[in-house]
Structure 1
Amino acid sequence: MEKRELAIITLKKDAGEIYSEQIRDFLGDNLKINLYSFEEGNITYCNEKLVILSVKLKYEEIASLCSPDTQIIIPKLTFEKSSFNKISKIDKNETVYVYNLSRSMALETVDLIHKLGSGISNLIPCYPEFESIPQNSIVLTPGEEIFIQTDNCEIIDLAYRIIDLSCIVDIAIKLNLEYLIKEDLLKKFMDKIIPTSYITEKLLVTQSKLENQFDFLLSSIDEGIICVSSDGIVQFYSHVAKDILGINENEMIGKYIGEYIKTCDFSKIANNEITHFQKLTKVNNIDINLEIRYTNINLFSGYIIKVTKFYQAEKKQAKLRSQLMNSGNVSKYIFDDIIGNSENILNTKKMAYKMAQSNSSILIIGESGTGKELFAQSIHSSSYRGSGPFVAVNCSTFQDGLLQSELFGYEEGAFTGAKKGGKIGLFELANNGTIFLDEIGEMDLSSQATLLRVIQERQIRKIGSDKVIDVDIRIIAATNRDLKKLVCEGKFRKDLFYRLNVLPLKISPLRERNEDIFLILDSFKKNIDINFKLSDEVIKIFKSYDWEGNIRELRNLAEYCSYLGKNVIEVSDLPEYIIESMESTDYCESLLVKNTNIEIPNFKRSINDYMFVLKKVNEAYINKERIGRRKIYEYAVTEGVFLTEQQIRSVLLELQDYEFIKILSGRGGSIITDKGRDFLEQNK
């Protein structure tokens, strides 16, 4: 919201700063205050719509520097109690001189001291044009330096005057910020100053207290409350009503209610003396439940209007129904539960949050295990349907024909085996909430046609029933398949695809945001209360691994590592499928085309040497141990095989050339490949 601007113009810079600080005590940072002073000479042209001018004689001069619609306030000033206490100690019969910068300002100060009840009858105004003040006199000054002779005089500095409370309230009202003036601030200020009008200040404090209590009462009511007079003029309204109607603070006060609720003729209600009226109507394209009651209490005669967003009452019913059925159909996750700092996932979350504010269908596209349902629940939680039910159904788990009975429900006796009393469908259960259709690509064509009608008509019909049921739901669908390809193959309806694909949301696989892998892994470790570390080699493997199972696969691996009972996870600790998949860009293809009849290569040494080394590498792999040429040499010495450490190194390099083993970098050792195991099996 754009800040209101206020100009404060004073003779002295210090006075302006005091007034500014005082106003900010009440109105905070909700307005911008610009300070000008004649002392600084920085007054040119005032663009502000409200000007506080402390010097009455300068009114014409300042008015000429302002735009025609600028309001200029000459503030009422008063003294703080601490200053006025100094005056009260003076003998009432004394002759007291009151000094200020001009004759008119000195007269104003004398008048103020009289109004505040000083009791001193002989107050004489003085100003710089005076030649001198009689010796041994008492001189009062409101924070101004005295520029005339004051031999042996008692100078009492009352400090700068401050703005009176009634003027503060006037400023707040003109800036539409009066709601910021709270009871505690009023009390604090009243304890500090001498009010110029005791009755006015007392009434302000009392009224503020009553208004705060009334606001507290109204804030505890879900419905919006508007009070209008018999002729339809708005007297007040609650914050809830303000939010429902989408208006600003106090915008409606004093205006005809028909300007804001145009779909209801209030003049007809008043003329016909209707005491109770209820209607479902639209305001700003939102369905509003409107209830109007005539009331006559003490001095007020008019109407109390209760406004409620229609879906709010429906939400409560859906929530109660969900509790009664103990269905557990509620969302558990919000966007903060989606872990990741990569630009990829942050942009996806940002886009998903924007989609949550809409009511259109969303199609989430992503590989298996990427967290499609997590996004769906977060979208639901962040939408206006968040307090309603969230119903998830996996379309691939039902055979053709059975899905419809789950989605739409059925009547008793609709088919053989139907439950007594029938069954409520998931669409009806999701009313006023969200239904999540996972694996939508697996839905049979018959169910697709029925789903299309639900999206178009927003109505369902139970199997075996001739009645239609209105439903207000949002559909979020998800798939890991190419729906466009399925449309081309005739396996998915084109019209349904475009109905669902209003807001497409693509979730990237884990391999495209590998900077998030270790953040997600840490969260899984916390959940299972285990703390292990990864070796540098394992970290490299994780970064280059394909993660075809995505986050679900990473969670499974975290659980697997927790059962190993090791502080550091090495390469040899990893499941075989991870190591095997690193050997080929397409692991599945390598399995399918694998040729088990491996020809014996033309080795440089005896085949027995190669079989010995290969056997030791295989045993280490089975035992999840790391093995290098030095360990193999120790086995050779023990078993009487005549191989030096350098010869073993040459054998390992040659085995790697034939893709029988893979030599890892650093101290990772060597691991046997699938081809190496097949070669061992073939030649054992």
Structure 2
Amino acid sequence: MVNWEVSCVEKKAISIIALDPRAARSYGRDVEGLFGEVADVSVFSVMDGSAMGMLPHADLFAASTDAFGSPEELARHVPIDSQTMAVQASFRWQELRRLKELPAGSRVLFVNMTETMAREAIAQLEQFGITHVHWIPFYPGAELPGDVHIAVTPDEMRYVPEEIETKIDVGQRACTSGMMIEIALRLGLEHLLETEKFQTYFQSIATSNYSFDQMFARSIRLESQFHILMETLEDGVVGVNERGEVFACNRHAEEITRTSADLVMGKPASQVFPYLPFSKCLQERERLPAKIIRLNGINVSAEVVPVMRQRACIGAFAILQRFNDVEARQSQLRNQLLHKGYRAKYGFEDVIGESDAIQKAKEVLRRMAVSESPILLIGETGTGKELFAHAVHRASRRRNGPFVAINVAAFPENLLESELFGYEEGAFTGAKKGGRLGLLEISHQGTLFLDEVEGMSPALQVKLLRVLQEREIMRVGGTSIIPIDVRIVAATNESLERKVAEGTFRRDLYYRLSTLPIVIPPLSERGDDLFLILEQFQKELGGSFRLTPQVRGFLKSYSWPGNIRELRNVVEYFLYTGHDPITMEDLPPTVFHRAPQAPIRQLPETPQQPSSDVFRFVLEQLYQASEARQPIGRERLLQLARDAFVPTSQQEIRSILAQMADQGLVRVSRGRGGSQLTPEGRQLYETGRI
């Protein structure tokens, strides 16, 4: 017989995401077993690639903590403002009973995919009282300790060493009862929690939260879930039935109204709470917006909402909130966000290098860090600007506050505005219910790092300028001013002065951001730091090799247009050659590739005249600019060289222009005037003597 109620209601969509496909399928079966009649459950895995890219829409995404590195990474794979939660796993009681039978004092391997996952499971087993054995985490690549004869694994028998005598497979960990309750609450399926199927499942899953179990059991005996749900709310809540009789009053409501729930239960709300308009709400069956009432000497916001079921009003709830609780909750939220990745990971001690250039940069930035003024980090791509931003925050007085980083160029204008400033509920189509905090609010009393700030649109530049001037923001779609205390550290790999001259970057914002400017030196100017960083990358990548003197000399003379990021790629390439030592034949062809050029004859041999490819390239570009009757600057020459795969640096181009000027081939102007070929320079190029 078809369940008519279920068939008439559109099914929800639940997506489960995990690192390993087998774990994803296991979690999916658990959720399907409880919610299959009312929801379609899909599973995705990072390892098999199904979780990559933008995932299809779902009413709820549940992701395991090992699937992605951070909440920000998860957000890149789900539709904007999707409802997300974490997969929580636990063991079943029957498996724990098996483990309690292990011989006391035994050395036991716990085998899992990674060290982190193995240690996490061991911590959970010890929390459940399985402490009579000595647990040893084991995972692919780990060294097998001696005198171990027992191994336990959560369905990862493929990683258990063959020589282990006793192998116990406890199966994939199951989704916790708390996770299933949260899914029901998120999707409005609370009525399922009282069914026998859910109760049977809850009794099978191990939990150490005794008080939660007791509260939940009590709510079942009272045939209502409202009691346990309301006690988890931070607002005061009073509930009445269709007759206006009080049936619920949580602890926060007792504190705000200074009454006892036992004294008001079952009584007409009009008598015990005459200041709450329950009767009007039940009659009109419409939400009554929040109004300010004076209660026991404090201002309280009171909102009343009806409870509708099949067009009938079966009750109402009053939501009470003290005004001074708002700021406290925002502070709590910011503190929670600190534990979700919004913190600086690196300090100045993590900046590797002994060259004068890098030591000077570190010394200056240490002094800048103690100020409250904005800092502008200027440097080529891959020089480590974000690492320095982390270090500045950790050396500042804001070190205990949040550190938030965002790449401005990675977001379209409309999305960047909502990311930075947040938005109110209903601000735009798809806006999350209740609105959302922006990164500027999250950064309160901390540091906000704006990478590639030159990519910000003119409209957002105006809003950011107001933030710097007034220290206040307004959310998208909002009407209230929110004061904030944020220190801005910005970074750019382009000339903001040129952007200002072109009219694409506001002059006033430029001077605000560049209060404390500093240039991060490129790798080509850091001398032997190259080899110190190279050795560190070898350690991080788990490999080792030696360089021949010829390779060391070549690497030191190379211009490194990709800087430290390019160096890491080269180190990884060397590791995969399998050669030791590394010779010139092992150099990666893509890194040192030069675009084909027309044959050019050698320059006349003079002691001061370089004969490098870069010199010839610069002379050719100067000639073409001369033909167009336009000067050309160092930055434009550097960009043209990169486009043509000619490795060079600003320092090298500056040196070549200086030598050309000494020989009368070019006139170099100060500032933005650029460089122009002299008649002698044009003649040199046109006569083909190069």
Give TM class, smaller chain. 0.3 to 0.5
Larger Rg: 1
TM-score by length of 2: 0.39
TM-score by length of 1: 0.39
